[in-house]
């Protein structure tokens, strides 16, 4: 059966799946589990992305220390730049065992394998140091690499860090915690839960199912991006969306919820939020024009360095340009870029979220909008 959906229905499926409708969740660990993957990004123009993602779901009940407690308790762990519920790491164990992949390997996978094998002595040195002294930051680990990391420039001289990334994917080391922006590394056996690996074919299917459950609706295959994929394979059931080209996959549980009244709310989103991370999907479902502009020259920005997409109901309606200034004790609100003129009630809802965000950051609001 192919589900035929309107664009509005598709949007509501996506919003509900991402826990952004009016029924706020209350259990933070369950939020991480339901979202499947929460990206770690420490850009602090407003707040680190993971905090914004969790606050936008949990609201005023959320405090950054809550996430840190879950990480200390090993209920939530970081893997390959994503936060996951610890039990879900069993779905990656087979891939760790088979790193850098299953034959036939791509050229870059062969190159990574050759590089790690050429630096096996450095790998052993790192494991020995962590075993004796861990957890430690990368800068305190020995660089005894005999073959330097080949880089176009971005990672030049970062032999230890690049080796740690490979060792993380091999299941040998893991991020134990963070001190500020710096990761502390330790032996994976001290960080990751001791759970048997799920067979790789079963794990791949289940990861696709979990990814689709978190997104609600997605393409079976789409452009690859670093980190957590946007594609869901054969998960769910086929769907088509009115006035949107191509074939989609939809979570059948969310289709069943379409008969229930939709109650939306207003939310300020991280630019890396999974609702908007797949920009192609965002444009197709929400007809929303948006780019993260932090890498653009200031003069070329339309909305701001870290402009936050504004969700109102089942529509993305604007971008909030705000900057946190902890030294001054204020959250600067420079502009609310409205895609279309907002109603008075919608603006009031945005203002409430701004005040909630300031409370999260323990800052006062400095509103320059007049």
pLDDT tens digits along 265-292? 999 999 999 999 999 999 999 999 999 9
Q: For residue 19, what are the contacts with CB-CB under 8 A and spacing of at least 6? A: 25, 31, 34, 35, 57
pLDDT value at residue 152: 66
- Do 311 and 318 form a contact (C-beta atoms < 8 A)? no
User: At residue 357, does pLDDT exceed 90?
Assistant: yes
- pTM reported for the whole predicted model: 0.95
- Do 325 and 279 form a contact (C-beta atoms < 8 A)? no
**CATH architecture entry for 266-367:** 3-Layer(aba) Sandwich (3.40)
With bands split at pLDDT 50, 70 and 90, how would you rate the model's confidence at 351? very high
Distance (Å, rounded) from C-alpha 112 to C-alpha 20? 39
Least confident among 89-103, 139-153, 276-290, 301-315: 139-153
Q: What is the mean pLDDT of the segment spanning 35-51?
A: 95
Q: What is the mean pLDDT of the segment spanning 160-185?
A: 95
pLDDT value at residue 201: 97
Of 262, 156, 251, nearest in space to 213 by CA: 251
With bands split at pLDDT 50, 70 and 90, how would you rate the model's confidence at 160? very high
Distance (Å, rounded) from C-alpha 330 to C-alpha 361? 9
- What one-character DSSP code corresponds to residue 333? E
Pairing of strands 330-338, 364-367: parallel
More confident residue, 364 or 370: 364
Q: Tell me the two tokens of residue 352.
A: 């409430």
User: At residue 370, does pLDDT exceed 90?
Assistant: no
Distance (Å, rounded) from C-alpha 370 to C-alpha 366? 10
Query: With pLDDT > 90 as the criterion, what percentage of the chain qualifies?
Result: 92
């Amino acid at each position: 059966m192919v589900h035929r959906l309107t664009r509005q229905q598709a949007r509501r499926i996506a919003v509900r799946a991402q826990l952004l409708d009016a029924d706020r969740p209350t259990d933070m660990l369950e939020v991480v589990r339901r979202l499947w993957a929460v990206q770690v990004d420490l850009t602090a123009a407003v707040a680190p992305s993971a905090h914004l993602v969790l606050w936008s779901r949990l609201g005023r009940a959320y405090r950054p220390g809550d996430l840190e407690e879950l990480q200390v308790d090993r209920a939530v762990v970081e893997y390959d730049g994503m936060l996951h519920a610890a039990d879900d790491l069993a779905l990656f164990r087979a891939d760790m065992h088979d790193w850098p992949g299953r034959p036939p390997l791509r050229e870059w996978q062969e190159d990574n394998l050759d590089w790690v094998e050429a630096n096996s002595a450095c790998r052993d040195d790192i494991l020995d140091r962590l075993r004796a002294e861990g957890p430690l930051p990368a800068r305190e680990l020995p660089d005894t690499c005999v073959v330097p990391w080949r880089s176009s420039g971005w990672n030049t001289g970062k032999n230890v860090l690049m080796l740690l990334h490979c060792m993380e994917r091999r299941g040998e080391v893991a991020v134990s915690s963070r001190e500020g922006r710096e990761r502390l590394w330790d032996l994976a056996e001290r960080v990751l839960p001791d759970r048997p690996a799920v067979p790789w074919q079963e794990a791949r299917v289940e990861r696709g199912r979990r990814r689709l459950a978190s997104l609600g609706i997605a393409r079976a295959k789409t452009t690859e991006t670093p980190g957590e994929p946007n594609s869901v394979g054969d998960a769910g059931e086929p769907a088509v969306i009115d006035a949107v080209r191509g074939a989609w996959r939809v979570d059948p549980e969310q289709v069943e919820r379409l008969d229930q009244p939709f109650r939306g709310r207003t939310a300020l989103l991280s630019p890396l939020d999974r609702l908007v991370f797949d920009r192609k999907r965002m444009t197709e479902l929400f007809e929303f024009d948006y780019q993260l502009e932090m890498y653009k020259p200031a003069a070329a920005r339309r909305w701001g360095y870290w402009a936050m997409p504004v969700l109102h109901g089942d529509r993305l309606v604007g971008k909030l340009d705000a900057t946190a200034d902890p030294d001054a004790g204020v959250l600067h609100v420079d502009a609310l870029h409205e895609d279309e003129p907002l109603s008075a009630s919608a603006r009031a809802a945005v203002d409430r979220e701004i005040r909630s965000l300031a409370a999260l950051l323990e800052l006062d609001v400095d509103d320059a909008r007049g």
